[in-house]
Amino acid sequence: MLHRILKSVKEKFVSHSVSQCNIRSLKEADLVSIRQILYFWFVDFQLSIHNKSYLSLVQEYFKVIKQSLQNDECHYFVATHKNTVVGIFGYTSKMTSEVKELYVQLKSKPLDSVVQARLLFVHHKYLRRGIGELLFYYVLREAHTNKNKELLFTSTRKWDQTSWGFYDHLGLKHIYENEEGRVYYVNLENFF
């Protein structure tokens, strides 16, 4: 199912037919827009759904994204619509220790050309236009092009009402779930 859905996304991507959206590497000039997108999802949205604010996470993730501009381990991409940043997604070879340990435990093999996807967020005014799918496909393609074989990503329980449905829509299966969240896996060699 993932292949069928993302084949459709690939066709949209090739023809650039989704909302006149372009995907490119993150630039320093994008940071103000990225902060606004993160603020909406971690503060406004979470307050409305869970009655919690995660302002500290806005600052933490913003710092990670900003630092990625100076290193080769992290690759972030933005979706733009009419020169406005409307989404972000990326991957890193610098995986968290928890994800590394879990991968080795679940797959019973060492980490070899495995990357961790990070921070898929679309501006709330641009949801349901295919932008998240385009970003997702773009990151898969970039990770594969850079000789990575597998991609892992986590989604914490605070996103169960948003991202989990999106990943289900894409046909992704999680390989692990606990009280904190889920871990998803894509074999890039089988995908492309």
pLDDT greater at residue 169 or residue 108: 169
Q: Please compute the mean of the pLDDT values over residues 14-23 and round it to a whole number.
A: 64
Choose the most confident range, by mean pLDDT, from 29-38, 64-73, 97-106.
29-38
Contact 50, 172 (CB under 8 A): no
Residue 73's SS3 state is coil
Residue 155's SS3 state is strand
CATH of 2-191, picked from 3.40.190.170, 3.40.50.150, 3.40.630.30, 3.10.20.30, is 3.40.630.30
pLDDT of residue 15: 46
| Domain boundaries of the chain, sorted by first residue | 2-191
pLDDT of residue 89: 95
pLDDT tens by residue, 113-166: 889 998 899 998 998 888 999 999 999 999 999 999 999 888 887 777 778 888
Q: Count CB neighbours of 91 within 10 A.
A: 24
Strand partners, 153: 184
Question: How far apart, in whole angstroms, are the C-alpha atoms of residue 172 and residue 166?
Answer: 9
pLDDT of residue 93: 87
Question: How far apart, in whole angstroms, are the C-alpha atoms of residue 186 and residue 75?
Answer: 17
Contact 53, 59 (CB under 8 A): no
Contact 153, 139 (CB under 8 A): no
Distance of CA 82 to the CA centre of its chain: 22
Question: How far apart, in whole angstroms, are the C-alpha atoms of residue 109 and residue 139?
Answer: 24
Choose the most confident range, by mean pLDDT, from 23-37, 59-73, 91-105.
23-37
